[in-house]
Amino acid sequence: MKQTTKTIPGLYCPSITSIGPDAQVFGVVIGSAPDALQVGYLTEALAATPELLAKAAPAKPTEIFRAAAPCSGRACKHFDGVRCQLAVRITAMLDPVVGTLPRCAIRPVCRWFHQEGRAACLRCPQVTTEQRNPSDLDRAVAG
């Protein structure tokens, strides 16, 4: 069931583009382009320490890790004041890639899950924060 929610204190964005000190790494991108990239979920979220982020080298941390941080609400280009439009596009434009909910360390605080429910989770494993050669579909979904 989709919920229309405003910024709820404590909700995290699962697709931050800048991994700062308040971020939690919850997944690692597996596979390589041009093959299908997919996120492997960690059993628990890890603090995005400089040491952890350095393990992504020579790639950017956002090419290797999926990280979450507190939703910035109206400060984010995807947030329309009520809903995250990135989550809306993901559930509308992408096909599910798993049949059951993946184990996810951030689901209890995930904005996408609170807003779009199960539909977001079934598509989430194919979402990568940054790609070197995104497809036209990837660019359209990203907005």
Query: Rounded to whole angstroms, how far apart are CA atoms 101 and 120?
Result: 9
Residue of 99, 96, 110, 29 whose CA lies nearest to 62: 29
Query: Rounded to whole angstroms, how far apart are CA atoms 18 and 108?
Result: 22
Confidence of residue 114 (pLDDT cuts 50, 70, 90): very high
Interval 6-16: pLDDT, tens: 445 689 999 99
Q: Where are the domains of the chain?
A: 12-142
Virtual CA dihedral for 113, 118, 124, 126, nearest 10 degrees?
-170
Interval 43-58: pLDDT, tens: 999 999 999 999 999 9
Q: Tell me the pTM.
A: 0.87
